[in-house]
Amino acid sequence: MRRLVACAVLSAGVFMPLVATAQDFAALFREINPSVVVVRAKGREVTAARGVGQFSETGSGVLISADGKVMTAAHVVHSMDEISVEFLGGERIAARIVESEPAADLSLLQLERVPAGAKVARLGDSDRVLVGDQVVVVGAPYGLSYSLSIGWISARWQPNTVYRAIPLAEFFQTNATINTGNSGGPMFTTSGEVIGIVSHIISKSGGSEGLGFVVTLRTARELLLEKKSVWGGIDGMMLTGDLAEIFNVPGGVGYLIKTVAKNSPAWKAGVLGGDRTATIQGQEIVVHGDVILEIAGIRVKSVEDLTAIREKLGTMPPGTPMTFSVLRAGKVVELTGTLP
């Protein structure tokens, strides 16, 4: 009898809070869901089999202002030709990139309009978040819109430590389930405040293995809201060392353009992307595009220089001439566009 009583007490102590927590999360989901969006983008890619072809990308995002600003991940939208945002209920709104920082995997979209029923998310203080705090992620994993996952903060990583391909981002590591399509979606505290933007996972299987990485809201505030990071619309790779020699790049370093987004500042200036692939030193590379040597008077010697260029352009008023020096077919060509 004593054992049965003890079990009953233990059950009450353990399971009753879990039921209450489930109810709390249901209420939380209803509160935050109207601020979450599905981001759908169309762009071009170059493959050995097809040459230049179209492809689509699905991600997530979060509405952060009443005038229609949406935060998302740069890798979902950065070099895309068309972007739309889908709200709860299925209404789609056209969007354009106004700021982007690939070195932190962050982009800021501007909607053509904000639909009725949309809700602006509350932005929190990511500096106050501790390892062990419970968190919520809402997004569109594998296109399954408005899916909720719950987990904990596993670690906090300073910029340029855990993921050097994205050197400017401070990351939360989380065991909340994150899959393809969650990218760009918000991470919330249990009180409903946004504290991060989902970036990527580390996985051997390709699916979630409890190693998700989320850019902290501190990073997003600094790079997208407090500074202006001008979107140029280009995507490519650095050429250094042997690769720079193979391409005969003046000065031994440059940025090979893979894709230029339609109607972006670089597109309007006449910067050209690649249209075929070649295997060089065992690596498949998109070629036949311009090699950027200099933008706005800043020589491109590293990925960090691209960030410095975006920051410099961000201090200039719209309509200011935007100059490019590119290597094209063995010759240096000067191009000029205007800042948006």
33-111, CATH topology level: Thrombin, subunit H (2.40.10)
234-338, CATH topology level: Pdz3 Domain (2.30.42)
Specify whether the CB–CB gap between 327 and 254 falls below 8 A.
Answer: yes
- Whether the pLDDT of residue 276 is over 50: the answer is yes
Q: Can you give the pLDDT at residue 23?
A: 64
Q: Can you give the pLDDT at residue 210?
A: 59
Range with lowest mean pLDDT among 145-149, 206-210, 272-276: 206-210
> Can you give the residue ranges of every domain in the chain?
33-111, 122-226, 234-338
pLDDT per residue over 59-116, tens digit each?
999 999 999 999 999 999 999 999 999 999 899 999 999 999 999 999 999 999 999 9
- Whether the pLDDT of residue 203 is over 60: the answer is no
Q: Can you give the pLDDT at residue 51?
A: 84
Q: Which pTM does this prediction carry?
A: 0.88
Active-site residue 325, yes or no? Answer: no
Active-site residue 200, yes or no? Answer: no
The percentage of residues in the chain with a pLDDT greater than 90, rounded to a whole number, is: 73
- What mean pLDDT value characterizes the chain? 89
Does domain 122-226 sit in CATH 2.40.10.10?
Answer: yes
- Whether the pLDDT of residue 3 is over 60: the answer is no
pLDDT per residue over 115-144, tens digit each?
998 999 999 999 999 999 999 999 987 777
What sign does the CA torsion over 304, 310, 314, 319 have? positive
Question: Which is catalytic among the residues 35, 60, 107, 183?
Answer: 183
- 234-338 shares the fold of 122-226: no
The percentage of residues in the chain with a pLDDT greater than 70, rounded to a whole number, is: 91
- Whether the pLDDT of residue 5 is over 50: the answer is no
Question: Which is catalytic among the residues 60, 78, 79, 105?
Answer: 105
Question: Which is catalytic among the residues 75, 149, 208, 264?
Answer: 75
Active-site residue 183, yes or no? Answer: yes
pLDDT per residue over 32-59, tens digit each?
999 999 999 999 998 888 889 899 999 9
Q: Can you give the pLDDT at residue 202?
A: 65
- Whether the pLDDT of residue 278 is over 70: the answer is yes
